Chain A
Amino acid sequence: GESVGLHLPTLSVQEGDNSIINCAYSNSASDYFIWYKQESGKGPQFIIDIRSNMDKRQGQRVTVLLNKTVKHLSLQIAATQPGDSAVYFCAENEETSYDKVIFGPGTSLSVIP
């Protein structure tokens, strides 16, 4: 079945450096992709999304890149801060009659002060 997965389970970066978190998806029919941040003891928090008709979208300190040719999604965080330490999930929305969101396994980002 379709699934969304991440390449690396953990990532450590120095404070101030840029972070890149990668994701591979298998459902070429997916229309929407979302990045979520989950801190310990909390639910996933929306970071940024991108539609399949786009290849790049920027937010505040974050950029999402979508490569439909190789079914790859990435999240770039500029000037990573200690508050960015969390688990990051990429997710896709299926084109069905309901809003099922399929999450990948997650990447744990640790920021080294």
Chain B
Amino acid sequence: DAGVTQSPTHLIKTRGQHVTLRCSPISGHKSVSWYQQVLGQGPQFIFQYYEKEERGRGNFPDRFSARQFPNYSSELNVNALLLGDSALYLCASSLSLGGWYGYTFGSGTRLTVV
């Protein structure tokens, strides 16, 4: 069975540009969460989506947005990129809310802003 898949795996962008990251959850999983992991630190929660609705938001600026599609896949968008946005962006899926114990992470998208 396919796990959580993220695309692209690596990305280089210039300051001020926009980026879209994509995530396909495990089949049957309806909840998708996004995390940012800066080098040398633990992942930080950005968003959670469930049944196409935002159910949680971390302490990130409005430049970060996301959405979930009817097939439960998700996109994370970041506008006006800053050098500090360089990080590994992780997507995690679970069956439903309250299913944190079933959280499965993808391998992430490595974003470098130059």
Among the stretches A44-52, A59-67, A73-81, the one at the interface with B is A44-52
**Number of chain B interface residues as a range:** 20 to 34
Within 8 A of B (CB), among A15-74: 32, 34, 41-46, 49
Q: Is the CB of B101 within 8 A of A32?
A: yes
Kindly identify which residue among B43, B98, B106 contacts A103, using a CB–CB cutoff of 8 Å.
B43
B58 at the interface (CB under 8 A from A): yes
Q: Is the CB of A101 within 8 A of B106?
A: no
Residue positions of A touching B, CB distance < 8 A: 4, 32, 34, 41-46, 49, 89, 91, 93, 96-106
Within 8 A of A (CB), among B51-110: 55-56, 58, 90, 92, 94, 97-101, 103-108
Kindly identify which residue among A41, A93, A97 contacts B100, using a CB–CB cutoff of 8 Å.
A93
A14 to B58, CA, bound (A): 39
A98 to B46, CA, bound (A): 12
Q: Is the CB of B58 within 8 A of A100?
A: yes
